Amino acid sequence: MNGRPLAEEYEGYNKAYVELVPDCNIKDYLGKQLDDMTAFLSEIPEELGDYSYAPGKWTLKEVIGHISDNERIMSYRLLVIARGEQQVLPGYDQDPYMATVDYSGNTLGQLIEDFVLARRASLSMIGLLSEEAMLRTGTANGRVSVRALAYILAGHAQHHWNGIVSNYLK
């Protein structure tokens, strides 16, 4: 599907994520982003995995794990809204999720592979959706279209990729 989502297809707090993604064929973009992110993350030395750039900030492993969690949550929302779900979907607060997970026993490679698998599942599902399904809307932390959720997936990953560059690899 080509075309950036319209402002009315998502809540304002997602604008920053949507704006990180060019007007494009979103499936192609998500695939290229997967390849580029995987190559980039694979070059990071393992010893940086447990690094946190400031007290109270996530470790690099936690950031990568969070990207995968978000991928799955947004993909679930994307699927059920594409299928016509009109019930309000549950909210998602990243902080309680992260408070219950310990990635220190995992390698960066394991967490990168987990992201790869999550993104591939998203790509497979998005590739099966019709143009009509991409424009369906539902409620998940406000009204949102399937197309906007695909852009939010890409923008969220890009947001954290930018953060890794600026905060973890200085």
2 occurs within a structural domain: no
Tell me the CA distances in angstroms from 137 to 68, 85, 118, one per residue in order: 23, 9, 23
152 occurs within a structural domain: yes
When divided into structural domains, the chain yields a total of: 1
Residue-number span of the structural domain to which 59 is assigned: 7-168
**22/40 Cα distance (integer angstroms):** 20
* Nearest-10 Cα torsion for 158, 34, 90, 97: -80
Model confidence at 170: pLDDT above 90:
no
Strands 143-145 and 137-139: antiparallel
Give the model's pLDDT for residue 83: 98
Q: Look up the CATH number of the domain holding residue 115.
A: 1.20.120.450
Would you tell me how many other CB atoms lie within 10 Å of the CB of residue 73? 18
Buried b / exposed e across 118-143, counting CB within 10 Å, b at 16+?
bbeebbeebeebeeebbbbbbebbee
Question: Strands, E, within the chain: which ranges?
Answer: 137-139, 143-145
160 occurs within a structural domain: yes
pLDDT tens for each residue of 68-116: 999 999 999 999 999 999 999 999 999 999 999 999 999 999 999 999 9
27 occurs within a structural domain: yes
37 occurs within a structural domain: yes
Instruction: Band the pLDDT of 1: cuts 50, 70, 90.
Output: low
**Residues of the chain with pLDDT > 90: what percent?**
96
55 occurs within a structural domain: yes
1 occurs within a structural domain: no
pLDDT tens for each residue of 136-150: 999 999 999 999 999
**Contact between residue 108 and residue 46 where contact means Cβ atoms under 8 Å apart:** yes
